[in-house]
Amino acid sequence: MKILDTIVLVGAMNPDDKYHKTAIGHLRAVQSGGKVYVPTSSLTEFDLVMRSREYTETEIGETWTALAPLIDRKVVVTTPTAHLAAAGMRSQGLTYFDSLIAALAKEMEAVVVTRDPKISRHVGTEW
């Protein structure tokens, strides 16, 4: 089982990102019916990234409209026990959202699709 880090969403939605094609491939894996999922925490962080980059509400809406069919219902919820585990990971240097993704991956026995070396110190990763 695999879960996608926010970096996949950012890369997939930005054609100028040097990892765009790879990120699109990871999103297509979600559609393929395999065991690839998007955590709710990745969706929330992605929305915050767009807002921090001053996307307009129209641009944000257009982005979600493009992204929604790629993800469909392949979303996993960050559980209360993952939040508890994430708190411990933050004390070891992970950021808030990275800790949520890593903790959920541990709980689900999943690999995180990411290029983030900090996450790889806590769980299995691949790109």
The b/e string for 85-101 (b: 16+ C-beta within 10 A; e otherwise) is: bbeebeeeebeebbbbb
pLDDT digits (tens, 9 = 90+) for 106-118: 999 999 999 999 9
Report the number of distinct structural domains present in the chain.
Answer: 1
Residue 38, beta-bridge partner list: 75
Instruction: Kindly report the pTM of this predicted structure.
Output: 0.92
Enclosing domain of residue 20: 2-126
Can you tell me the distance from the alpha carbon of 73 to that of 103, in angstroms, rounded to the nearest whole number? 21
CATH code of residue 18: 3.40.50.1010
Instruction: Give the per-residue pLDDT at 38.
Output: 97
DSSP single-letter state for residue 79:
P
Residues 6+ apart with CB under 8 A from 10: 17, 23, 46, 49
pLDDT digits (tens, 9 = 90+) for 36-93: 999 999 999 999 999 999 999 999 999 999 999 989 889 999 999 999 999 999 999 9
Packing angle of the helix pair 20-31, 57-71 (nearest 10 deg): 50
Residues 6+ apart with CB under 8 A from 23: 7, 8, 9, 10, 11, 12, 17
